[in-house]
Structure 1
Amino acid sequence: MHPMNSRSVSVAGLGLVSGLGSGVRHNWERALGGANGIAEIKRFETSNLLARFGSVVDRYPGLSCAERTRKVAVDVVEEALSGSCMSRSERANTGIFIGAPVFDIDWLVLADRRRRSTEDALDLMACEEWVSELGTEIGSVVESSYPAVMVNTACASGASALQLALRCMRRGRFDNAVVVASDATVCPETLTRFALISALSTRNDEPHRASRPFCEDRDGFVMGEGAAALLLQNPRRCRPIARRHHLAQLSGAGDSTDPFHRTRSSPDGRAIIRSMQKALQDAGLYPAAVGYVNAHGTSTPENDRMESLGIRKVFGDQVPPITSNKSQIGHCLTAAGGLEAVLSIMSLLDETIPPTLNYDAPDRELGMRVVTEAEHCSGLSHVLSNSFGFGGQNVSLVFSRCP
């Protein structure tokens, strides 16, 4: 198979905000240095919560979840477009695809409080803060004449937005697209909901060691906040000056649905396997061409076991090195696939795999080679990035070096 799929689209700009900080280069340098963005939460009272830590973005104190989600989304879009040489007409014809929460958690909390209240005068200002307003705001920043497409496939949303953009661009619907993934919904309510289904780590005495992907003593994921933006361009239709600045290519995408259980995968892992196989087929690659897998790697007992099973089935005895960004930035939920896409692209650019933190009690049964320190990988050409959402919504993406 040819190493560079003629149906690929190019990545021309990146933006990133996470618990490690703001800006793509800043995040990347901190990731390679083994920085940990997970800590005790100070933004609100946590003493009555089962999990009292996370990887949060504290640059906008006092704002609601919806407003923080919008603010960081705008920040990353502005960064992704900062080096762009798109004309006004090109911007006007740019597609916008957004992976984000489908509702404002603050609105639900206030509405529930209103239903329970006996005070007629309780003031609710919830209707002003729907997350769907995000599309209008991003459209204004991009100066696009098209409405934004909002995507939600749970924890695969960011990856789904990239997949949808790729499909639309292949069909000639757009020559340029801005893909955004944003989620800043760490609050008492979300922490409680995930804790009630035993999804969160409760290592409150050592938050920095709580996210432990692929360890035998892993006990749940750590909630994170962040946003990512990617500017995509059709390399066959853009101007030569723009082509010279392309960073990487989105060369393939695959998806699958697993109806087995809302939080667990089918025991045979077939849906996870199918997602990865479809992505490789879409990119025109054999499994051996992949130099590194950016795993979904949530640090939950179930996910890591099933993802490892799927990776072994797909790659056989040639399993590439893997890492999980969630050990450093937590699980950013609907934004996770977008953030991990940006970090996958940075791996291609620097030919370096970032570390997985806290891998000090390996689960030998998983059979993975987990990278624990920044590892140079000369000639790294293709990265597979997995995103698997609750409800059995799976997306795998392949990113490749520019030819």
Structure 2
Amino acid sequence: MNHTVTASGWAVASGYAPDFPALIAGLESGKLACGSPWFSDDAWQTMRLKVNPHVVADARPRPAPFDRLRKVIDRALAMASLPATALAGQRVRVYVTGSGVRPDIGDFLGYQDRNDSEDLLFFPQIKRLHADSYGQDLLADALLRRYRLSWPPVALYSASNSSLSALHLARTTLAAGQADLALVLGWNEMLLQDILFLGGQDMLGDGQSQPFSAADSSVLPASGAVALVLESARHARQRGLTPRLVLHPSVCCQSGGGSAFTADFRSIAQTLEQALRAASLAPDDISAVLPHGNGIIASDKAEAMAIKKIWGRQGIPVVSYKGQIGYISTCSGVQDLMIAADALLQRRLLALTSRSQPDASLDIRLHADAAPLPLDRPHLLKYGAGLDGSVIALAISACREVDDD
């Protein structure tokens, strides 16, 4: 039996916006995330980076990972009109994305030569660097205990497609009737090793990241957290909630991948076409596309080619907010889906605020620096393209009545 799946609650917290209403207000007002240099000195030159990379400033002191997750969970549950005790049921699944609680490599640099008992006496902070303080499953264990979950959360990490991978698993589980309720969580904190990795991929810049622009080829990294409540339409109705959104079957494709410069437009196009077929929708049924669109010119061009293959030149509105709000690598896919859900419910698509002129040679209809776009068709398409070569796509629709098979 294939059950209809709906999204009933969501929340976000990041350096751009402390909550989802603030995120939407920022997009409506044209607010741009303020990027600030990662290094306070010339250490970036020592580490052979091309620039002192800019990232979206986050709250200081850094919030504890579980505290941030707990806040977004509680807000998402409140939006869904669910108590926290609802997560304790046998037919509930929780998925946590991201690389988990990690040590910052920078924290170790000052203690390389301090390893005897006297050092531990005079520098007790060394104890915080013990392996017991780190691990991907620490957050999952904290969630299990806090919400008295019947099943351990599934922790997964697949680079920039982490949250959409979790969404794919959650939606598939609900559609198969194996659960009634699912919670998809994403959390990411930028650390020095992330900066070094992105710098090694030549993906960092001075804060002028702009998807689908030829003026800059970089991402604007950010930290943050997301929470998304999914449930079967039948479960929603049984508790008195009228479903307003439908998440159609998500489609995954795994190509070679390997770096930011090997995005295959054919794999992207095939995945988008399969997602449309899975939703029983034609290209003309879609009001707009929310792509991966991270600001790297090579992958942006591949995405533009895939979009044109299906919708033609200037054939459909395209919008990516990553240059405006920052790129939370393991959360961005679900964050985009939240924005899409809000757009469908409000029947308008907010334009992105650009930092530079779009690349006209891409020949796509980028919805930028304009009034909100009225949505005359209740269907949007979201996809992500990961560094690992994965492509995940799904359609989301607004509805007045939902029939469950």
TM-score, with normalisation over the residues of structure 1?
0.86
Q: Distance in 2 between matches of 1:25 and 1:166?
A: 25
Does the 8 Å CA contact 1:176/1:234 hold for their aligned counterparts? yes
Q: Distance in 1 between matches of 2:101 and 2:275?
A: 30
Percentage of identical aligned residues: 20
Q: Distance in 2 between matches of 1:46 and 1:335?
A: 30
- Equivalent position of 1:296 in the other structure: 292
1:174 corresponds, among 179, 187, 195, to 179
Question: How far did residue 91 of structure 1 move?
Answer: 3.8
Does the 8 Å CA contact 2:56/2:222 hold for their aligned counterparts? yes
Q: Does 1:376 pair with 2:373?
A: yes
More off after superposition, 367-376 vs 152-161: 367-376
Q: Distance in 2 between matches of 1:188 and 1:89?
A: 38
Q: Distance in 1 between matches of 2:287 and 2:41?
A: 41
Question: How far did residue 241 of structure 1 move?
Answer: 4.5
Question: How far did residue 111 of structure 1 move?
Answer: 6.3
Q: Does 1:343 pair with 2:344?
A: no
Task: Note the alpha carbon deviations across 1:158-178, whole angstroms, 9 max, x for none.
Answer: 111111101111111110011
Q: Does 1:286 pair with 2:282?
A: yes
SS of 1:259 mapped into structure 2: coil
Task: Note the alpha carbon deviations across 1:41-75, whole angstroms, 9 max, x for none.
Answer: 58x635433234212431x5156xxx34x332222
Q: Distance in 1 between matches of 2:292 and 2:177?
A: 30
Q: How many residues were matched structurally? A: 382
5+ unaligned residues in a row in structure 2: which ranges?
Answer: 45-50, 121-125, 401-405
Which of these two proteins has the greater Rg computed from alpha carbons?
2
Question: How far did residue 380 of structure 1 move?
Answer: 4.0
SS of 1:82 mapped into structure 2: helix
Does the 8 Å CA contact 1:212/1:359 hold for their aligned counterparts? yes
Q: Distance in 1 between matches of 2:292 and 2:37?
A: 24
Task: Note the alpha carbon deviations across 1:115-139, whole angstroms, 9 max, x for none.
Answer: x536434624232132421112333
Q: Distance in 1 between matches of 2:20 and 2:291?
A: 20
Q: 1:385 to 1:253 in 2, by over 3 A?
A: same
Q: Distance in 1 between matches of 2:349 and 2:289?
A: 9
- Equivalent position of 1:48 in the other structure: 43
Q: Does 1:151 pair with 2:147?
A: no
Task: Note the alpha carbon deviations across 1:350-394, whole angstroms, 9 max, x for none.
Answer: 122222222642212211111113423133411111211112122
User: RMSD value over aligned CA atoms?
Assistant: 2.6
SS of 2:155 mapped into structure 1: strand
- Equivalent position of 2:61 in the other structure: 61
2:387 counterpart letter in structure 1: F
Q: Does 1:71 pair with 2:67?
A: yes
TM-score, with normalisation over the residues of structure 2?
0.86
Does the 8 Å CA contact 1:212/1:357 hold for their aligned counterparts? no
2:385 counterpart letter in structure 1: F
Q: Does 1:80 pair with 2:43?
A: no
5+ unaligned residues in a row in structure 1: which ranges?
Answer: 1-5
